[in-house]
Amino acid sequence: MSNHVLTCNNVGIRFGGLQAVQDFNLQIEDGELIGLIGPNGAGKTTVFNLITGVYEPTEGEILLAGTNIIGKMPHQIVRYGIARTFQNIRLFDHLSVLDNLKVAANKDMRYSIFSGMFRLGNFWREEDEIKDKAIEILDIFGMSKHANKLARSLPYGEQRKLEIARAMATDPKLLLLDEPAAGMNPTETDELMDTIMLIRNEFGITTLLIEHDMRLVLGICERLMVLNYGKVLAEGNPHDIVNDQSVIEAYLGKGE
């Protein structure tokens, strides 16, 4: 067994007549930071949905640290150690920032419905632990000052960060970020790049991200994968990729 965190072998999915993703192969090694890029509609988010169990692939296999995770429900896959964020932010709007993280930590909590109902000892113990853990994560993201605010009251950039923080609260081995910089201004993007690097360097979490912002992609990704029409078009180190003729054509169309 190698130290591959995630392996996709010939993964594909067909929606009716549309082959959304085809022959998708990917090996991610422990601690890598990989970017998945490609024109709109290339199937990038579909790849995320396949890995996280939202869609079931029509062909191929997906292995997480050697275990096949195909057919598992999304919430089970989180238990295997994959966490994600969404292109259009999906927070628990009317819950506090702290509670957003606590929800994500629920899978590691053990006290029973009965304990919660009658406020038994392990309720207090676990709730205290989880609160400390959540505050710790918020501290890392510089968000503890917002802990008791409603998620939806945060400014846009902070909401994006909160989504990543929430994903971190599930204790992932692999983090999937879907366009984390979308809609951010350059300052916010810089801050985000720092955060992503921090997650990788401090916690050694493997990260796969979809992004259109090339400054971010070139700034932090170690390896890039280009998707076009549901197929892998090119793969390799960022600087080779951006100079690859086929990639340029995919983005800009064929030159004369």
Residues found near another protein in the complex (CB under 8 A): 45, 49, 52, 54, 73-75, 78-79, 83-84, 86, 90-96, 98-99, 102-104, 106-107, 109, 111, 113, 115-119, 123-124, 126-127, 130, 147-148, 166-167, 169-170
By beta-carbon proximity to another protein, the closer residue of 91 and 232 is 91
Of residues 54 and 214, the one with the C-beta less far from another protein? 54
Q: By C-beta, is 147 or 193 nearer to another protein?
A: 147
What's the min distance (Å) between Cβ of 199 and another protein? 17
- Smallest distance, Å, CB 220 to another protein? 23
Least CB distance to another protein at residue 124 (A)? 6
C-beta of 162: minimal distance to another protein in Å?
11
For residue 196, give Cα distances in angstroms to 27, 35, 158, 164: 20, 12, 14, 9
Contacts of 138 by beta carbon, 8 Å cutoff, 6+ apart: 97, 98, 101, 144, 146, 147, 165
Q: Measuring CA to CA, how many Å separate 176 from each of 78, 128, 256?
A: 11, 28, 38
CB closer to another protein, 113 vs 252: 113
The rounded distance, in Å, linking the Cα atoms of 61 and 232 is 16
Residue among 44 and 234 whose Cβ is closer to another protein = 44
Q: Which residue has the tokens 């902070």?
A: 158
* CB of residue 165 to another protein, shortest distance in Å: 11
**What's the half-sphere exposure (Cβ side, CA atoms, 13 Å) at 191?**
14
Residues 6+ away with beta carbon under 8 Å from 162: 91, 97, 100, 141, 143, 146, 151, 154
